[in-house]
Structure 1
Amino acid sequence: MTLLSYERLCSEIVAQTRLLTSSIEGADLTVPVPSCPGWNVGQLLRHLGGGQRWAADMVRARATEALSDDHFRDLSPYADEDPAVVGPWLTEGAAELAEALREAGPDARMWTPVPGGNAAFFARRFVHETALHRADAILALGAEFTLQQEVALDALDEWMELGSLPFHFEVHPWMRELLGPGRTLHFHATDTAPEAHAEWVVDLTGEVIAWRRAHEKAAVAVRGPLTELLLLVYKRRPAHGGAVEVLGDAKLLDFWLERVSFG
């Protein structure tokens, strides 16, 4: 369940896109994106904008199956993008998606890649898709990435929810190897107030992956700023030698990061 209202999600897609476009003004978009190997910043932006437009098409059509997303799958033609062109294009696509979501309402039924099947899924997913690709672009350009606390908290919750869905064992059988006795991970944001309850436990001791917001002893604990934890679980930051502290079974953390996936 999201921490953000449906209207906030709709407006946040636009807000995150606006932050992204303001960060690329006058930038060299041919800079490679280390977290998205094979893409430069301009290609990353076309990927994001294409995804937003695909989601808008899905929502408007109340599609009962996934529509083709062939547009922007081949990013080779977009290796030399101009910020003055791609920026307004991104803004337009984000506004189209937000408008389609508002018109549909959160409970509008449609195909989604995970169980649930409503517009609320696309609203939440594209807030965090946009925010994390904003991080990809900003970090590639050498700037600092920041994210509002409530958005970062919801992004981590969503990541935990999606990453623990049982159907992953069918799509990614290797994820079953994560399960085993004593395998628990604790993530603790060190820069939030106690009332934010910014702690997550991933429990791999049962027959499925489980997670909960909790303060518990675990086989491995990871402590650091909230945004750094988010970048870590999305594999945008290394687990070691960065801004987070790892206590306990570091090999379990590495194994979990290697195997866990919701893409």
Structure 2
Amino acid sequence: MTLLTHDRYCDEIAHQAGQLGELLTAGADLGATVPTCPEWTLEDLLLHVGRALRWTEHTVRTRAQAEIPMDQVSGIEGPAARGDAAALAEWFAQSTDAVTGALRAAGPDAYAWSWMGKHDAAFWARRMCHELIVHGADGALAAGRAPGTVAPEVAADALDEWLEIVEFVQRALPDGPAKDLRAPGRTIQLHATDTAPALGADWLVGLTPDGVTWRRGHEEATAAVRGPLASVLYLFYRRLPLDAPDLEVVGDRELLEFWLAKASFG
């Protein structure tokens, strides 16, 4: 596994945020329900992402030594009035510019507190890149569009990161949903049908008695999902269903449903 460069993550943050923000300038309905997060409207989604970007900018810029309360972050509230697409678009663009500027100025090795124990700006560049991919899919679906395309190397890294997060939360949140992801002898194979083997087209996930393990590679598994890499990624993010038309499920479907129900931040 090879991480992307710090600059590439920053570029992807700008790109993915631009795609999400474009929904506002294209006239998408701010009141539309986000089907993958039905408690949110599209406006709620944009506010959530913009606040995450501003909180991350503050964390990186100040070289935070501990978690920063949201109410200490300038501009975190968003536009004064709800329902103003132009104001929301401007605020969201400013949020994007702020976080990419802070990350580039800091460089990957600058100290910045994180909830996962990797306390540097590199963690936040990677995390915000992939946060924008998943919420970009949410925004597209709310606007009646298909999720956007993701460069193969970015999608592969996003899958790696998600599996790392599941491993982490299983250890760090012993009472969270991921604690149940233990099924001795049962494995899940992910296979990207459109990705060059040199990049890494396969992941093997094990649900061992001691917790989740994973590695890049291909072998027989209890259950398998095959399809375009972006679709496999969106499935594991729970942004596409198992019966999406470009995905093929082989073996124990119930194991995949179990994984999707329990693989969570908490």
TM-score between the two structures when normalised by the length of structure 2: 0.90
Q: Distance in 2 between matches of 1:174 and 1:29?
A: 32
Q: Distance in 2 between matches of 1:118 and 1:257?
A: 30
* CA 15–173 in structure 1, closer or farther in 2 if over 3 Å, else same: closer
**Residue in 2 that maps onto 1:43:** 44
**Residue in 2 that maps onto 1:153:** 156
**Residue in 2 that maps onto 1:60:** 61
Q: Distance in 2 between matches of 1:62 and 1:2?
A: 26
CA RMSD of aligned residues (A): 2.2
**Residue in 2 that maps onto 1:237:** 240
* Residue 221 (structure 1) aligned with residue 249 (structure 2): no
Q: Does structure 2 retain, via aligned residues, the 8 Å contact 1:9–1:124?
A: yes
* Residue 11 (structure 1) aligned with residue 30 (structure 2): no
Q: Distance in 2 between matches of 1:28 and 1:169?
A: 38
**Residue in 2 that maps onto 1:90:** 92
Offset at residue 180 of structure 1 (A): 2.6
Structure 1: stretches of 5+ with no match in the other structure:
none
* Counterpart AA for 1:11: D
* Residue 172 (structure 1) aligned with residue 175 (structure 2): yes
Offset at residue 175 of structure 1 (A): 2.7
Deviations 1:109-150 (A, max 9, x none): 221010211111110000111121111011111112222222
* CA 89–169 in structure 1, closer or farther in 2 if over 3 Å, else same: closer
Offset at residue 82 of structure 1 (A): 3.0
SS in 1 for 2:208: coil
Q: Distance in 1 between matches of 2:146 and 2:226?
A: 20
* Counterpart AA for 1:81: G
Q: Distance in 2 between matches of 1:177 and 1:165?
A: 14
SS in 1 for 2:168: coil
Offset at residue 33 of structure 1 (A): 0.4
Q: Does structure 1 retain, via aligned residues, the 8 Å contact 2:66–2:113?
A: yes
Q: Does structure 1 retain, via aligned residues, the 8 Å contact 2:169–2:178?
A: no
Q: Distance in 2 between matches of 1:113 and 1:167?
A: 14
Is 111-120 or 142-151 further displaced after alignment? Answer: 142-151
TM-score between the two structures when normalised by the length of structure 1: 0.91
Q: Does structure 2 retain, via aligned residues, the 8 Å contact 1:65–1:111?
A: yes
Is 56-65 or 81-90 further displaced after alignment? Answer: 81-90
**Residue in 1 that maps onto 2:118:** 116
Q: Distance in 2 between matches of 1:28 and 1:166?
A: 35
**Residue in 2 that maps onto 1:260:** 263
SS in 2 for 1:161: helix
Determine which structure has the larger strand proportion and give its number: 2
Offset at residue 169 of structure 1 (A): 5.5
Q: Does structure 1 retain, via aligned residues, the 8 Å contact 2:165–2:265?
A: yes
Give the number of equivalent residue pairs.
261
Offset at residue 5 of structure 1 (A): 0.3
* Counterpart AA for 2:13: I
Offset at residue 108 of structure 1 (A): 1.4
Q: What percentage of residue pairs aligned between the two structures are identical?
A: 43
**Residue in 1 that maps onto 2:105:** 103
Q: Distance in 2 between matches of 1:226 and 1:48?
A: 24
Offset at residue 171 of structure 1 (A): 4.1
Structure 2: stretches of 5+ with no match in the other structure:
none
* Residue 34 (structure 1) aligned with residue 32 (structure 2): no
Q: Does structure 2 retain, via aligned residues, the 8 Å contact 1:169–1:176?
A: no
Deviations 1:50-102 (A, max 9, x none): 11000001111111111112579999x87x53332212211111111111112
